């Protein structure tokens, strides 16, 4: 299926009630399972990934299929490693290409009994009852690995007989995601210390408490992009917390470059459009990689030169997001290119430049690469002209109501064939 998107004007007026954060929801579900006592979780994400997490945690099946959900697969790997019995954890063909060795090696050091069923270092996994799990309580992990590995280990840490000392070796990526995990653990009664590069979690028990999931800042980014492209904007996004535990909450600051103002009410932010757009934008996306695609499209749509760094994890997401951005931006005469190392300000960082102003004509067709964020990041370009989005159903992974919400703001969203 392909959707055709357009908007008869560049006015953005209305209210959007955003879904709960998928990242927070999935962590809350793992903590709920580890707690052993029931507690209420309000505003749980309706995303496919979160629904899948719920289903798999409640399932007695021997084979658990995490599909394309990377967070679900990684969190469940650690969770199942603490449980009795033998289960197989698998996923899509793309999931079978995403490395899992670092997490499996760490869990094995703690006493987990895990075997690879196909290619060494990759899913699917067979996870058996642990052997003296947690007798060893010290791990050294490369700090530049996926935060999902680290969060998975931290969440099971208090259930281990000796807790866990997690040493982060090298330069840390995605610190906000670790802080999110640790703040949620603290809410449920599990403290920690973080001294230099060592996080220590003592053994203990999660305490059951009612919990409200804040709305998803990654989802909010698409509306910020629309606001940036608008001539007139009076849009209210409901459910966001101003004092957020999500790294993507920096959106309010970064979008000032593009003339988007954020005015706060109680768990609501009102977006307005100010005159003037700055010609240059620079940002390190290491703490907030999930909004990099959106900002690349914003820069292209407005003809702003963008200098991006911190994109190291984008190549191992649902797709190679850097290659996908390069392919799709080129369709509107915008180019994403890696700067030669000699131009880098820091020798240990990669820098990418977004150049060109989008020319949206002839109803360009954007491929989504089985990646929900590609579909939603490119959708705001419909404010500049008619576009087409292939396989639009991929948004179910994180934001099932996205297309209906766009219709509510006056977008025309119709099947192209």
Q: pLDDT for 383-408, tens place per residue? A: 999 999 999 999 998 899 999 999 99
Could you tell me the pTM of the whole model? 0.86
CB 305 within 8 A of CB 281: yes
Concerning whether 290 is annotated as a catalytic residue, the answer is yes
> Residues 324, 399: one domain?
yes
The residues that bridge with 192 in the sheet, in sequence order, are none
CA distance 53 to 49: 6
Number of domains in the chain: 2
> Residues 164, 298: one domain?
no
> Residues 154, 232: one domain?
no
Residue 417 has pLDDT above 90, yes or no: no
CATH number for the domain harbouring residue 91: 3.65.10.10
Residue 175 has pLDDT above 90, yes or no: no
**Secondary structure of the chain as H, E, C letters:** CEEEEECCCCEEEEEEECCECHHHHHHHHHHHHHHCCCCCEECCCCCHHHHHHHHHHHCCCCEEECCCCHHHHHHHHHHHHCCCCCEEEECCCCHHHCCCHHHHHHHHHHCCEEEECCCCCCCCEEEECCCCCCCCCEEEEECCCCHHHHHHHHHHHHHCCCCEEEEEECCCCCHHHHHHHHHHHHHCCCCCEEECCEEEECCCCCCCCCEECCECHHHHHHHHHHHHHCCEEEEEEECCCCCCCCHHHHHHHHHHHHCEEEEEECCEEEEEECCCCCCEEEEECCCCHHHHHHHHHHHHHHCCEEEEECCHHHHHCCCCHHHHHHHHHHHHCCEEEECCHHHCCCCCCCEEEEECCCCCCCCCEECCCCCHHHHHHHHHHHHCCCEEEECHHHHHHCCCCHHHHHHHCCCEEEECC
Q: Which of 19, 49, 248, 290 is catalytic?
A: 290
Q: What is the pLDDT of residue 346?
A: 59
Residue 155 has pLDDT above 70, yes or no: yes
> Residues 182, 223: one domain?
no
Q: Which of 161, 192, 212 is the last residue of a domain?
A: 212
Q: What is the pLDDT of residue 103?
A: 97
Which tokens belong to 19?
């879904």
CA angle, 301 then 302 then 303, to 5°: 100
CB 31 within 8 A of CB 184: yes
Q: Which of 185, 212, 239 is the last residue of a domain?
A: 212
Q: What is the pLDDT of residue 144?
A: 83
> Residues 207, 94: one domain?
yes
CB 239 within 8 A of CB 17: yes
CA distance 16 to 22: 17
Q: What is the pLDDT of residue 318?
A: 59
CA distance 270 to 411: 19
Mean pLDDT for the chain overall: 93
Q: What is the pLDDT of residue 342?
A: 57
Residue 345 has pLDDT above 70, yes or no: no
Q: What number is the average pLDDT over the span 114-138?
A: 93
Q: What number is the average pLDDT over the span 323-350?
A: 83
Q: Give the pairing of strands 41-42 and 211-212.
A: parallel
CA angle, 223 then 227 then 229, to 5°: 115
Which tokens belong to 378?
């490119």
> Residues 285, 260: one domain?
yes
> Residues 327, 343: one domain?
yes
CA distance 224 to 119: 41
Q: What is the pLDDT of residue 397?
A: 87
Residue 314 has pLDDT above 60, yes or no: yes
Q: What number is the average pLDDT over the span 49-69?
A: 95
Would you mind telling me the total number of residues written for the chain in this entry? 417
Q: pLDDT for 65-98, tens place per residue? A: 999 888 999 999 999 999 999 999 999 998 999 9
**74 closest CA partner among 120, 122, 25:** 122
Q: Which of 167, 191, 212 is the last residue of a domain?
A: 212
> Residues 219, 300: one domain?
yes
Q: pLDDT for 5-40, tens place per residue? A: 999 999 999 999 999 999 999 999 999 999 989 999
> Residues 179, 280: one domain?
no
Q: pLDDT for 347-393, tens place per residue? A: 567 899 999 999 999 999 999 998 999 999 999 999 999 999 999 99
* All residues at 6 or more sequence positions from 93 whose CB lies less than 8 Å from its CB, including other chains: none
> Residues 161, 146: one domain?
yes
CA angle, 338 then 342 then 343, to 5°: 60
Q: What is the pLDDT of residue 280?
A: 96
Q: What is the pLDDT of residue 316?
A: 61
Q: What is the pLDDT of residue 136?
A: 87
Structural domain boundaries enclosing 391: 2-20+214-415
> Residues 192, 244: one domain?
no
Q: What number is the average pLDDT over the span 106-128?
A: 96
Q: What is the pLDDT of residue 317?
A: 59
> Residues 32, 115: one domain?
yes
């Amino acid at each position: 299926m392909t959707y055709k998107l357009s908007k008869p004007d560049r006015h953005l007026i209305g209210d959007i009630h955003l879904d709960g954060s998928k990242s927070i929801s999935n962590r809350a579900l793992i903590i709920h399972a580890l707690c052993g006592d029931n507690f209420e979780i309000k505003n749980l994400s309706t995303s496919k990934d979160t629904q899948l997490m719920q289903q798999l945690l409640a399932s007695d099946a021997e084979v658990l299929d995490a599909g394309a959900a990377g967070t679900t697969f990684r969190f469940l790997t650690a969770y199942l490693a603490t449980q009795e019995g033998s289960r197989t954890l698998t996923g899509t063909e793309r999931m079978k290409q995403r490395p899992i060795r670092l997490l499996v090696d760490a869990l094995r050091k703690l006493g987990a009994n895990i075997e690879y069923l196909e290619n060494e270092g990759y899913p699917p996994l067979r996870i058996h009852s642990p052997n003296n799990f947690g007798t060893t309580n010290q791990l050294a992990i490369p700090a530049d690995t996926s935060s999902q590995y680290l969060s998975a280990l931290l969440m099971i840490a208090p259930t281990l007989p000796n807790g866990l000392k997690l040493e982060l070796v090298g330069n840390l990526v995605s610190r906000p995601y670790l802080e999110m995990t640790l703040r949620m653990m603290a809410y449920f009664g599990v403290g920690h210390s973080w001294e230099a590069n060592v996080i220590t979690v003592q053994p203990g028990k999660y305490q059951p408490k009612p919990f409200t999931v804040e709305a998803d800042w990654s989802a909010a980014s698409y509306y910020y992009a629309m606001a940036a492209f608008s001539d007139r904007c009076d849009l209210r996004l409901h459910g966001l917390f101003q004092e957020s535990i999500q790294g993507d909450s920096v959106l309010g600051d970064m979008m000032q470059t593009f003339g988007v103002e954020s005015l706060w009410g109680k768990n609501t932010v009102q977006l307005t459009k100010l005159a003037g757009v700055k010609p240059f934008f620079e940002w390190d996306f290491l703490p907030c990689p999930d909004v990099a695609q959106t900002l690349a499209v914003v820069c292209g749509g407005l003809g702003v030169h963008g200098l991006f760094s911190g994109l190291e994890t984008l190549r191992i997401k649902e797709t190679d997001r850097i290659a996908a951005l390069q392919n799709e931006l080129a369709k509107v005469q915008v180019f994403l290119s890696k700067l030669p190392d000699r131009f880098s300000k820091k020798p240990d960082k990669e820098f990418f430049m977004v150049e060109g102003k989008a020319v949206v004509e002839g109803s360009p067709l954007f491929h989504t690469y089985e990646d929900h964020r590609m579909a939603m990041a490119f959708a705001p370009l419909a404010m500049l002209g008619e576009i087409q989005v292939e396989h639009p159903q991929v948004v179910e992974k994180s934001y099932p109501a996205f297309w209906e919400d766009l219709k509510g703001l006056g977008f025309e969203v119709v099947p192209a064939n």
